[in-house]
Structure formats: structure tokens, C-alpha cells
Amino acid sequence: MIRAFLLSLRQLADPPVLRVLALSLAITLVMFVALGGLLWWAIDAALAGWSWHGALAGVAATVATVLGAWLLFRAVAMVVVGLFADTIVAAVERRHYPDALATARPVSLARGLRMGLASAARFIAVNLLFAPVYLALLVTGVGTAAAFFVVNGWLLGRDLGEMVAARHLPGAAMRDWRAATAGQRFVLGLAATGLFVVPLLNILAPVIGAAMATHLFHRNRR
């Protein structure tokens, strides 16, 4: 896992990876700015009868957008990176696994978007389901963080692994592959979850995670 992480870091300077990183960050930023503008408009309309309603709406929309970005960055980032994950995986394969690249089946933009949206939906739904557990474990001091890492490690390991496997495995083989790699994908997911909670590194987390998943997938096949 450490080797996969270091190899992924070294490849961040590759032009295709840099383009994906820049484009994904730009799209994510535009989405949150648009959300902030929509919230300002809605709050301003709701407070139209109040004095200083414009300033109040601006403050409320800013706070809500920052909070939303903090809570939902992982979901939005995975949707956006899902669009371009195939480019990241192909770049890693081109440098380290050329034989695998020659037999890969590129994932279409539509399929990448579906996988990204499914990842975001699972993240939101599962974490909402576990929200009472997170709250109950607050009294332990560390239980909430531990539960969050376990839940999201499982989710991210599945999502990142399937972005790579989709290029190389037929649908019928995916179930066996999931069962055979469950433990390793969970460790991958824990590492990626750790990246998502570290300021600044969280910006790189989806790209590094996709690259790490590529290394782990091909090392298993060998």
C-alpha cells in the first residue's frame, strides 16, 4: 500500500493527471459556487421583508456553502473524478503496466458518470443511515471517528477498485473479484478516507486514490 501511494504521488506531475486534477477541481469549485449563489437567492427571497436581508442572505449562504463543501466534498469529488478516472487509470497503466493497457476496455464518459453518481449516492445514504451511530459514539471520544473511517473505508475501497476493474473484467467476473479483494480494497479505502480528511491533501485524494487502486489491481493480477 505504501509503495502504491508513493508511486501515485510521483505520477501527479504527468500531464494527463495534471489535466484531470485541474479540470476536476475547476468543476467542483463551479458546482459549489453555483450552490452558494442558489442558496443566496433562495434565502434572500425568503427574507425579503426584513431589513438588511441582502447582507443576512449573503452571510447565511456563505456559511451554508462552506458547511456543505466540508460535508459533501467527498461525494462531489467522486462524481467529478468518475468522469475522468479512466484517464488517470490509463496514465498509470501506460507507465507501469503497458501489457494491461493494450487489452483494456476504456470506460465511457456515461459509464464513468454513472459510477461517480452511484458512489456519491452510496456515500450520502450510508452515512445518513449511520448518523445515529456516529452521534451515539460521541461519548467515547474516538468511536465516531473510528466508525466513520470503517464505513467510508469500505465505501471508497469499493468505488475506487471498480473504476479500475471496469476496464479489465467482464460483468460476470466482478462478483468473484470483489470477494477475492475485499480486504485489500478496504485497506485502500481507509487510506483514501485518511487523505480526504487532511486539509490540502483532500484536494488530491480522488486522483491519488484512483492511481493507488490501479497499482493494487494489477499487482493482484500478477
Among residues 211, 155, 157, the alpha carbon closest in space to that of 183 is found at: 157
- Strands in 18-70 per DSSP E: none
Single pTM value for the model: 0.83
Domain that holds residue 95: 2-221
Burial of residue 127, with CB atoms counted within 10 A of its CB: 0-12 exposed, 13-18 middle, 19 or more buried: middle
Long-range interactions of 124-128: CB distance < 8 A, separation 24+:
124/72, 124/75, 126/151, 126/155, 127/151, 127/152
Instruction: Measure the CA–CA gap between 13 and 24, rounded to whole angstroms.
Output: 15
In order along its 222 residues, the chain shows pLDDT tens digits of 788 888 898 898 899 888 888 888 888 888 888 887 887 777 777 766 666 666 677 777 777 777 766 677 778 888 888 888 889 999 999 999 999 898 888 888 888 888 888 888 898 899 899 989 988 888 887 888 899 999 999 999 999 998 899 899 887 788 888 888 889 999 999 999 998 888 778 888 889 999 999 999 998 876
Cα angle value 163/200/210 (rounded, 5°): 10
Residues in the chain: 222
User: Could you tell me if 180 and 221 are in contact, meaning their C-beta atoms sit under 8 angstroms apart?
Assistant: no
| Number of C-beta neighbours around residue 201 at 10 A | 12
Phi-psi region of 200 (alpha: psi -120 to 50; beta: other; left: phi over 0): left
Nearest to 73 by CA among 206, 209, 207, 211: 206
Angle of helix 201-221 relative to helix 143-165, nearest 10 degrees?
Answer: 60
| Total tally of structural domains belonging to the chain | 1
pLDDT of residue 146: 92
Q: Residue 32: what are its φ and ψ, rounded to 5°?
A: -75, -35
Q: Report how far residue 168's alpha carbon sits from residue 175's, in angstroms, rounded to the nearest whole number.
A: 14
pLDDT for the residue numbered 91: 93
Give me the amino acid identity at 157. Answer: G
